[in-house]
Chain A
Amino acid sequence: MLKKITQTLGAGAFALGALASALHAAETVKVGVLHSLSGTMAISETSLRDVLLFTFDEINAKGGVLGKKIEPVVVDGASNWPLFAEKAKQLLEQDKTAVTFGCWTSVSRKSVLPVYEQNNGLLFYPVQYEGEELSKNIFYTAEAVGQQATPGVDYLLNELGKKKFYLLGSDYVYPRTTNLVLKEYLASKKIPAANIKEVYTPFGHTDYQQIVAEIKQFAASGDACVVSTLNGDTNVPFFRELANAGIKSEDCPVMSFSVSEDEFRGLPTKDLVGHLGAWSYFMSLDTPANTAFKKNFFAWLEKSTVPGIEKKGRVTNSPMVLSYVGVYLWKAAVEKAGSFEVDKVRAALESGVVFDGPGGKATMQKNHHMTKNVYIGETLADGQFKILKSYEGVYGEPFLKGTFK
């Protein structure tokens, strides 16, 4: 018995030793990267890790931040939300990172939020989300609902003259919230409730026959569209089914908020041609800043030595660029504050630092969201978006519900 218990303690000591933090090097500043590199979310989040490492190298090559080189601490959240909280604690309490860039799903952000608040840490969150949150320790470079969903619906209403809306989403908080806001928004635009249908499918749903049959009948009048907040994987069976049912983008366009260039890599783009997307960045944006960003990133990928990193067929998308923008905003704020201290950096950020990034000018607001451009694009067969319309300098507002009357 005693032996068994010493075994237990031995196993524990092993973990303790492993977790003991390394000593700080004076010339570097530690920066956390908290994304899922395994599990279901690895599919999206790995790209963000890549772009973050690229950004750090880019900054380090130009002398770092306040003369210190960035030393990334990469941890795997493994698509496991309590593990995210554990890793966040580790980054803050053990590694003492100055800032963390990370999280994709809302639940991962929710899971680490108390950790950042309690340790007074700093987290930059880059992925479109539902809003309804404002933490003094989180900066949301992400698109809020008003920077994606409402402009997207505006486009459907004003440019395409759509009158019937099929709101299709995965059954979780982001789609639910977005659709709540959209329903209010549509009501304020005098769209009768009878013309709005709201449907949810579980995560990983694979059979969209029924829903597509319903859309087909819903769209028989010719003035209908689909607003899709379907998550990740489920887009493939959905668009496949849609194409096979003969529903064309001209008859019934689908405006998706969760499908970006990165997702197109795994989608049969042929089936998506003509359908729409709304993001604050498209890879096809023709600006010098974007051209340079793409060139440098792909060049970096070529010579990267990160194990298992994909080098071929890579694209850029909005969450990646917003991660990139986040790092630069943080850098600008640190330099403005002249310190890595969280309180000073926060004050600097809140005072409105600006970064002219690949997606255009982004200004951090006092409410921790960004004013940025929003683009509406149409899918092309090569997995890129053709930009149809741009809305410039859209204010980021996390609390939208109840604002449209």
Chain B
Amino acid sequence: MSHPILQAEDVTKTYDGFRAINALNFYLFPGELRTVIGPNGAGKSTFFDLLTGRAKPDTGTIRYADSDAAPSIDLTDLNEYEIQRLGIGRKFQTPSVFAEHTVFTNLVLSLKGPRGVFASLFHRLDSSARDRLDSLLKLIRLDDKRHWKAGLLSHGEKQWLEIGMLLASEPRVLLVDEPAAGMTDEETHRTGELLLSLRGQHSIVVVEHDMTFVKQISDGGRVTVLHQGSVLCEGKFDDVQSNPKVREVYLGRGKH
């Protein structure tokens, strides 16, 4: 078995005495699409915050591998943009796009490339970048709305745009927080297909509530159940679903 690309070991994070993450261990392998589920307050968003530098763990290590070797880069020392530049992209739970900018500009700003002050002063779009933008716009089905202000898009379209922005930056790891929220069933399904199509080239972690969607994207992949800040269990969707502990803390509450 190869080395994990992302590895969190024994991570703890406390907010005002509340243990949001408690001795968590998590390993993500290259090309994997991992689904993370868990009841509200299980620590899913905090976990993403820790991975992306928005919060620092109290104890434990979070490491990332930028090559095939064992993960060696300590993410806890880095801040948001440094982690992003390493190739870890994140989509937020509530879609966060630049509402005052056009769809097109939103993507341009996310495009992989130099991120420095002077680079952006003298930035020019070359033709290959334009092609890439065009294909992205088609992928997220916003081609005809490329000049719309992003703020005018529907909720679902914003979710897509944000996924598009994520892809534009060509990350190695995608952290996707509730991508299907606010979408119609059809949109949700398409989102699932998109994510599945990315599997392999990218390593993906998806946090989701919608069990139908989880079932769709887990597709033989592993599902991690978080509970009270730690991993309750991990395994194939069916195994997890039949796990009595999971049923007790999560499914047993009547959701699905």
Touch A–B, Cβ below 8 Å: no
